[in-house]
Amino acid sequence: KQITADHPKVSLLINNAGIALNGSIEEISLDNFELVLTINFRAQVALVKALLPTLKQTPGAHIGNVSTLFGLVAPAGQVAYASSKFAVRGFSDVLKMELKPLNIGVSTIYPAGVKTNIARNSLKGDHLDDKKAAANNTHFEKLLTMTPERAAEIIVGGIEKRKSRVLVGGVARLFDIIARLMPGSYGGLVARFMK
């Protein structure tokens, strides 16, 4: 209620929330898995529910739900994060069909390699070795090379064109193709890339 009171006219919602959690299913607790789902997925659902009445009042309104590269491919050791981002992808796909008759556009956004603090601030699985977690964070941080400003340009451009899918960066485009061509066997390629 507070959001709609503060913003009675909304024409664009960009849903972006992210917290990472290092660890396999055996290395993380259910509590931490739930925390990642709450922040990365349920928060997006809640904002859409809260703002949909006002979005419906604006012809041509648009929703941009930020998934990630790990909403296209799911690497080992990222079970909670990838699960939450695949959930965003599925939620967005349903919204596209449900909201099209209302002339509300929906874009699913797949950033890859954007230089943010997500790797540095990644949570550690309860049963994950501290040294392994630190090494994972350092390694992932090196893969983040695109500036947030460049990512924002691509995202805004995709939304302006009302694209259904916005792939941010060459890595996202590459792994989108790999996931489509090798849906059951891309794991080895993803693992090699991550190394």
Structure tokens at 117: 């603090």
Backbone Cα Rg of the chain: 17
Tell me: the pLDDT tens digits for 38-78? 999 999 999 999 999 999 999 899 999 999 999 999 988 88
Chain mean pLDDT for the chain: 88
Q: Tokens 């994060």 sit at which residue? A: 81
**Are the beta carbons of 68 and 85 closer than 8 angstroms?**
yes
Nearest of 50, 80, 87, 51 to residue 66 by alpha carbon: 87
Q: So what's the pLDDT on residue 143?
A: 67
Active-site positions?
A: 81
Q: What is the DSSP string of 72-130?
A: T---TTBHHHHHHHHHHHHHHHHHHHHHGGGT-EEEEEEE-SB-SSTTTT-EE-TTS-H
Give the C-alpha distances (Å, rounded to integers) separating 6 from 2, 51, 54, 58, 60: 6, 11, 12, 16, 21
**Confidence category of residue 134, pLDDT binned at 50, 70, 90:** low
pTM for the model: 0.88
